[in-house]
Amino acid sequence: MATIQTRKGKNGESYRVGYYDENGKFKFTPTFKNLAGAEKIASIIDKRGYKTALRVLGANQESNAGITLGEWFETYLSRKAMKLEAGTVHDYRREAERTWLPKLGELPVDTITQQDVRDWISWQVEQETHRSKQRRAKAKQAGIKPLPPVERMSPKTVRNAHSSLSSVLDAGLYEEPPLLTRNPAKKAELPPMSIEDEKEIFTREEWNEFYEALPQHYKPFVAFLLVTGTRIGEATAVQVGDFNFKAGTVSLVRAWKKAPSGRVLGTPKSKRSRRVVMIDGWAMEAFQKLAGDRPSDDLMFKAPRGGKIHPHRFNERQWHPTLEKTSIKKDLTPHSLRHTFASWQLMAGVPAQVVQFRLGHSDLSVTSKVYSHLLLEEQRSGAKVMSWEPSKEIEGKAS
């Protein structure tokens, strides 16, 4: 552990940081004029090792006065806040605090290397998820044995965090003067997405069994998730007035967003997420009956006591207990209904562009990438275009 030594001289106090090298020899860093610089280097030694700290000092001889990644990130967020909702800014900060900030946040931006980024990625893929920690803590407190298995960060989560880090570093390239000369996160080797390729979905038989086992109060809500393919944050924000029962449509124009003060109503994920979705037959009749003569600004789907449906509580108290009552062995979640919706549509031959619109994907490539293995009709039509038979004359010559 690093220690800070205070020295008094004619020009006032100065500071230096003591540490042990790899041979167990105690050494000191160069002298700092201010305590903040010494504390910063001491923290880097404790978290990243003395070699990284010395590299930082070598790159910046002015007592570590260079702006750190954590400091630059706050500046970056403050500028983003002018264009983004508070909930989105909150999500950016929370993601960074759970991923790259603990390992890279204290390093000056201009000293971060590609190896630093690679080391962070290697560390990140081994970390337990926040949800896993909470689930295991609750089980331990309740005396449940064995504890639920540890869930590590998914490749998708690590890739998303890397994308965020790269964007923050990219922005530093265009400062005046630039904070760095190149982005060390570019071309970093990332965990493969093969784990994410196969999406768990309901079969028709499994869905019927699950739906029958659901508490009656939540059946309309869960049916809505299936027949529209909406995200749960969109479905829980739908109001009575968003339904046009004559036209058989629902407008998805808002979603619950995370904010420092809790969940607040905001706009959906992207411009394409604001959409009008058609609903047919029995489902629309059920929703019309549920709406009754309630005010147009009333939430369509509510918890039993009248409040909004909290996704986490619904998942823990309703979804999982219902799943356990069935014979289904898959690890299905409410989000699996979105994948089920898309899969059933594509397997039935609905054009990918229509599915893209109904899902609210920003680009067709997103839909195609996730569900490419289900685009059977498109493949079938493509195969027919290329089908041919050689003429009898050609066959005769070949023989």
**Which regions of the chain carry the CATH code 1.10.443.10?**
204-342
The residue assigned the tokens 């196969």 is 198
Query: Quick one: tokens of 303?
Result: 């918890």
Q: What is the mean pLDDT of the chain?
A: 83
3-state class (DSSP) for residue 331: coil
* H or E element at residue 146: none
Contact between 332 and 326 under an 8 Å Cβ cutoff? The reply is: no
Label the pairing between strands 262-266 and 255-259: antiparallel
Average confidence (pLDDT) over 107-123: 91
pLDDT above 70 for 53: yes
pLDDT above 50 for 360: yes
State residue 63's pLDDT score.
36
State residue 394's pLDDT score.
55
| Per-residue pLDDT tens over the stretch 197-256 | 456 889 999 999 999 999 999 999 999 999 999 989 899 999 999 999 999 999 988 887
274/135 Cα distance (integer angstroms):
33
- Architecture of domain 83-195 in this structure: Orthogonal Bundle (1.10)
Average confidence (pLDDT) over 21-25: 86
Strand partners, 262: 259
State residue 205's pLDDT score.
94
Count of Cβ atoms closer than 10 Å to residue 392 Cβ:
8
Give the list of residues 6+ apart from residue 398 with CB closer than 8 angstroms, or none: 390
State residue 260's pLDDT score.
61
Average confidence (pLDDT) over 264-293: 82
State residue 195's pLDDT score.
40
State residue 7's pLDDT score.
83
| Per-residue pLDDT tens over the stretch 262-276 | 666 766 666 666 888
Q: Which of 19-23, 50-54, 117-121, 286-290 has the lowest mean pLDDT?
A: 50-54
Count of Cβ atoms closer than 10 Å to residue 376 Cβ:
12
What is the sign, positive or negative, of the torsion defined by CA atoms of 226, 317, 315, 237? positive
| Per-residue pLDDT tens over the stretch 296-341 | 999 999 999 999 999 889 998 999 999 999 999 888 999 999 888 8
Residue 132: CA count within 13 A, CB half-sphere: 11
State residue 356's pLDDT score.
84
Pick the closest to residue 249 from 357, 352, 342 (CA basis): 357
Average confidence (pLDDT) over 120-138: 90
Residue 41: CA count within 13 A, CB half-sphere: 34
| Per-residue pLDDT tens over the stretch 72-88 | 999 999 988 877 776 77
Pick the closest to residue 202 from 188, 212, 191 (CA basis): 212
3-state class (DSSP) for residue 155: helix
State residue 34's pLDDT score.
82
State residue 226's pLDDT score.
93
Q: Please name the fold of domain 204-342.
A: hpI Integrase; Chain A (1.10.443)
Average confidence (pLDDT) over 281-308: 93
* H or E element at residue 92: helix 86-98
In order of 107, 236, 243, the CA distances from 44 in angstroms are 7, 44, 56
Pick the closest to residue 352 from 332, 387, 381 (CA basis): 381
229/355 Cα distance (integer angstroms):
9
State residue 60's pLDDT score.
56
pLDDT above 80 for 390: no
Where b means 16+ CB within 10 Å and e means fewer, 174-211 reads eeeeebbeebbbeeeeebeeeeeeebebbeeebbeebe
**Which regions of the chain carry the CATH code 1.10.150?**
83-195
Query: Quick one: tokens of 386?
Result: 């290329």
> What is the percent of the chain where pLDDT is above 70?
81
Strand partners, 152: 128
pTM over 0.75: no
3-state class (DSSP) for residue 305: coil
Pick the closest to residue 335 from 218, 202, 154, 243 (CA basis): 202
